Chain A
């Protein structure tokens, strides 16, 4: 059992569905609103029990998606369900806020009815749901059958899909999580990768994806033939379309893809990565008058690669004034609402080094506590490096087989981005 009822609320119930009738909806919603408004934000937890009712919630924009239960429910399932429900709504209504909920309350009731029954999650694939729950005006026509996919083993793809041009796009996106300590050592680094697909293929295509997966190479003794290095992916998570048992068996990634966009797989690598973009800050506060920053940044990747839209975000005290900047490249902006300066470098070639100086006035009487944040918040960096993966992962092939025998071309792109990329200031 997962949930007795689901609420969508902005602290006043916008819409709710009481699946089991064993909880008092208005009392529960009021109790939840009280919790949110009276509990300090720092003390809140996503799961709590009051008077025998357990509340689990997630927040999206200004909306709370809340599941209430009286039993020892599987909360992991409940939280996952709520996130997926949000995705379904986003897919249906575009932006999701109180307006769009009210504007579509009839269809939301229908969706709530179809996504969960008696507290058990059912169908949460918006593409399939759309086949029989539609918002178009022509609803008078009765859909005469539930989509086969609803109960089929292939629950994510309908039969009979047709595209004029059969194409499939693969994006290998790697995000680099990095934490550098105040003394300059890398405290932790990991790569979170994803293979994202956009599939426009007709019929029921069978796909097979080949990567330079070290474990498979070793298993098949193919190490010698492989050009370049193989990558050891530490933890791989697959979209539900991938045959997990098959992968467990011989590391083959085989699947029938859903139509359109989806994340085929995500992976994680816990290797020691040299910070691609290095930042050093020297801060000189002159108590009671001014504060100076000297920022040095260095790109530590091959010179033929380029990092685009680099943003180096440096926290500053909240009461600084009269900013002035000098930099050898890019533009620097002071963002008072974020208590930070942002150094923008549109194109940052590999193996380069740049300097920037910032100068602020500082009121002589300032609360030290207001400045504390600036010393404790790390510097963060945003960037994007196309045609490059930190891990060295490569798509070796993508085989597409459909019984009609059409030819389809896969398009592959690689990109590396920042994840949680933080450097603590000394």
Chain B
């Protein structure tokens, strides 16, 4: 027999030799050879080709032909081939079933297990029927190796055919395996059940008192991996009371000493979750003390493990700061740490810094600020700023360190320092202006928008204390047109501030800036702000002062910024991806199955990335008081205008600002204050009645002459609206001092659609021009459109279409929000939605989250944009989470707002 000698080193690479022409034929012959080693070699060649990605599916029958063998190596290779190609040849795969069934009865447990394991991997539905018989026998096999393999196989089968698993009672058998005498079988049974519980949303991994005892017993005996499975399932269990929690913790604590860091992490997870239930101070103190050393030791493991540990420690110190309060020096960066580890260590350091250790921390941070890697240096500098913002007593020290760093003249260090000093000014107004002089010496170093904008903000804010503030601004103004919009906005504001403080010297400058902002710029934000300032300054300088120089609320320390509820969710996810991203799983896990669309009572998704430099305000929260974000000064004086009326209507032209809240019944807001319209004040809103859309106008005539006939014209908008009749005839006419109303019928027509630029959101406004035919005066206004006014009655989708569409839309195209409701009745919402042509598609409880329900809706506009929505309710909570998905991304936010209005 010409068998080739094989060395221990392995020399399988010969099977990879490039295929010659006719090789397939040759292989085929060899596969049918009677010589065993020729046959084995041929199969190896096939597998080698498969490994490098060549398609060898044409040899399916020939390879299958080799399956009947008592050579276990050959068998494994053929099985491997089958796993790979079964999907492409489902019919032929059926031919292998007999062998599988036979092998599952083999006297050798290794072969029995191999057969069961492989069958589960063959994801062909037809084969599942045949799998059930052998599987149910294997689950009761005398050999634990077969039983543990079979346990996992149930999870595999559940993936392909869940109903089959339930019908055949496999879940019950699996549950029985938790009482198996063998610890490995228990562990794998737990893993399989936990996974099925997760995918199905059914509580199949129910932990009763007796199950609990079995899990705890197996914990001491099973493999390290099995320990992780068991600990992870324990972490989902809610103990009956503090005593039970304490009892379990006692059994889990020894795991903290395990060499396997995954075991340690999962043990930490169980303990932290159960700690919520413990009230005895003593126990809490002991646990706190016990948790610190294992967490610190994780920092001596491989860098990837350190990374996972640090992201988790970041959460843990927010939840229970006491655990690591004395351990800050362990988080000091080592020179050779990978950069991703260093960045995470900085985050933890900032969370742990306190008055006792701030000196030490500042020394470290200063040292880091002189290192080589730019990102790390920047983060170190900004961390010094965060220390200052967090610890008032240390602020002065921090500032002096920052000044020292500025002296280094290293470009990016200076810029980062300027940015954080601005934040420190926001935190402690009028306290550290003495450093302004030093900052001003470094103006020419600044070339990044953020640093420039920060510096300009400082100049504007403290103009009265800087002798040559106007000159400094003047130098920036020279390059106004080339600057980044954020810098332009800042320059505009700073110049106006400067003017209000010292009008004589800066009159010319402010005029020039306003000109540039309103006439030469095509940036709408800049223009808007320019116009607002202009009007303010020209009509009422005192009001302008009140607005522009208003006192800004002090910014807050945000080092522990996760909401408690989100934090608890994340703590329960320790060691998982969710804990790495600091986001609940459903945010990043693709929803493979609509049944698993789930499950959280987190009411807010604004937590983008922990890595954001902390003091940067989030774009939309009420903390955005830095006027860098755009419109900050305005917020300062007219916070969250809930309607356009009242005496602060300085923003009549500000089309983007203050979306008025409209209700489905049509709430009107003032769109025209009479100043440009000969005294006609107009309130406007939109609605739909019996399928026809209308624009509802309320007019108040404060002018001199009666209003009899108006002509209306609408500009092209994102909604394609046109008036059915352009003449609005008032009979009787509205006398001066009187008021009246008019309903303008609208049609939706493609001719009036203005296309939305790709990637941007559809502008919410409809612009109108009105001509008063009595005196031929023309005036304009813009009204915010309410998308629900054009929801079409044929917006309902059938379930399957909905599911497919939902799956088909990328998760990035989702918008979320949480909305306060006036009722906690889901029916009431469904009712309200139905009357607004928003149709209920499905409704079901959220798995594993008792008391939570999700309802799915669909709706469509008359302009043929459809939207899918998911509303999550929690029992007894008068709020719900709205998630809107749509391919029409430009309109998604508007649709979401429409839903919010309809829900109220």
Contacts and interface: CB of A to CB of B under 8 A. Distances in A.
Say whether A and B bind each other.
Answer: yes
Interface of A: 1, 13-15, 19-22, 26, 42-47, 49, 52, 54, 56-58, 69-77, 79-81, 83, 93-94, 99-100, 102-107, 109-110, 113, 117-118, 120-124, 132, 135-137, 139-140, 142-146, 150-153, 155, 179, 181-182, 187-188, 190, 192, 234-240, 243-245, 247-248, 263, 265-266, 268, 270, 372-373, 376-378, 420, 422, 424
A104 B372 contact: no
B356 interface: no
A391 to B, nearest CB: 15
B303 A75 contact: no
Contacts of B577: 47, 49, 54, 69, 71-73, 75
Give the interface centre of B109, B232, B334 by most chain A CB atoms within 10 Å. Answer: B334
B504 to A, nearest CB: 47
B257 A244 contact: yes
B265 A137 contact: no
A43 B9 CA distance: 38
A70 B592 contact: yes
Contact of A118 (B152, B198, B255, B330): B152
B53 A26 contact: yes
Given A117-B152, A142-B72, A187-B332, A76 B266 contact: yes
A263 B145 contact: no
B228 to A, nearest CB: 5
A388 B598 CA distance: 58
A45 B12 contact: no
Contacts of A124: 225
Interface in B1-43: 5-6, 8-13, 15-16
A238 B307 contact: no
Given A80-B262, A235-B297, A244-B258, A46 B44 contact: no
Contacts of B72: 139, 142-143
A45 B305 contact: no
Given A76-B262, A151-B148, A238 B257 contact: yes
A181 B363 contact: yes
Nearest to B578: A72
A109 B48 CA distance: 11
B76 interface: yes
Contacts of A15: 51
Given A151-B144, A247-B257, A118 B155 contact: yes
A135 B7 CA distance: 8
Interface in B560-577: 573, 575-577
Nearest to A46: B304
Nearest to B220: A245
A70 B257 CA distance: 31
A291 B118 CA distance: 68
A378 B329 CA distance: 18
A72 B372 contact: no
B335 A377 contact: yes
Given A120-B191, A142-B72, A146-B110, A187 B329 contact: yes
A76 B257 contact: no
Contacts of B505: none
A179 B334 contact: yes
Contacts of A377: 335
Nearest to A243: B220
Interface string B500-533: 0000000000000000000000000000000000
The 5 A-B pairs of least Cβ separation, nearest first, read A235-B293, A52-B590, A244-B254, A72-B585, A104-B10
B254 A74 contact: no
Interface in B221-261: 221-225, 228-229, 232, 251, 253-255, 257-261
Nearest to B185: A151
A72 to B, nearest CB: 4
Contact of B300 (A93, A268, A378): A268
26 contacts: A13-B53, A22-B159, A49-B581, A52-B811, A73-B577, A75-B308, A93-B10, A103-B10, A104-B12, A105-B48, A106-B12, A118-B156, A120-B152, A137-B5, A144-B107, A151-B184, A179-B334, A181-B367, A187-B329, A237-B258, A237-B259, A239-B259, A240-B223, A244-B220, A247-B254, A424-B367
B47 interface: yes
B123 A21 contact: yes
Interface in B143-166: 143-145, 148-149, 152-153, 155-156, 159
B10 A107 contact: yes
Q: Majority SS of interface residues in chain A?
A: mixed
A1 B182 contact: no
Interface in B76-123: 76-77, 80, 87, 107-110, 113, 117, 120-121, 123
Contacts of B863: none
B294 interface: yes
Nearest to A99: B13
B184 A109 contact: no
Contacts of A263: 259
Nearest to B229: A120
A76 B261 contact: yes
Nearest to B333: A179
A175 to B, nearest CB: 9
A52 B72 CA distance: 38
A54 B589 CA distance: 9
Contacts of B220: 243-245
A143 B304 contact: no
Given A137-B6, A248-B253, A74 B336 contact: no
Contacts of B149: 117
B375 interface: yes
A268 B266 CA distance: 21
Nearest to B307: A46
B588 interface: yes
A405 to B, nearest CB: 27
Give the interface centre of A83, A105, A106, A181 by most chain B CB atoms within 10 Å. Answer: A106
Given A107-B10, A266-B259, A21 B121 contact: yes
A237 B297 contact: yes
B742 interface: no
Contact of B12 (A105, A248, A378): A105
Contacts of B222: 153
A149 to B, nearest CB: 10
Give the interface centre of A103, A151, A192 by most chain B CB atoms within 10 Å. Answer: A151
Contacts of A266: 259, 297
Given A52-B811, A240-B223, A105 B255 contact: no
A4 to B, nearest CB: 11
Give the interface centre of B48, B232, B254 by most chain A CB atoms within 10 Å. Answer: B254
Contact of B120 (A79, A80, A118, A182): A118
B870 interface: no
A188 B299 CA distance: 14
A280 B294 CA distance: 35
A12 B155 CA distance: 31
B183 A153 contact: yes
Contacts of A238: 257-259
A209 B304 CA distance: 32
A146 B141 CA distance: 14
Contacts of A75: 308, 575-577, 580
B121 A237 contact: no
Interface in B285-300: 293-294, 296-297, 300
Given A71-B585, A75-B580, A144-B108, 5 more contacts: A47-B580, A76-B309, A76-B312, A143-B108, A270-B296
B8 A135 contact: yes
A188 B305 contact: no
Nearest to B340: A45
Given A22-B592, A79-B302, A103 B580 contact: no
Contacts of B334: 179, 420, 422
A80 B258 CA distance: 13
Nearest to A110: B76
B370 A376 contact: yes
Contacts of B370: 376
Contact of A74 (B51, B76, B309, B575): B575
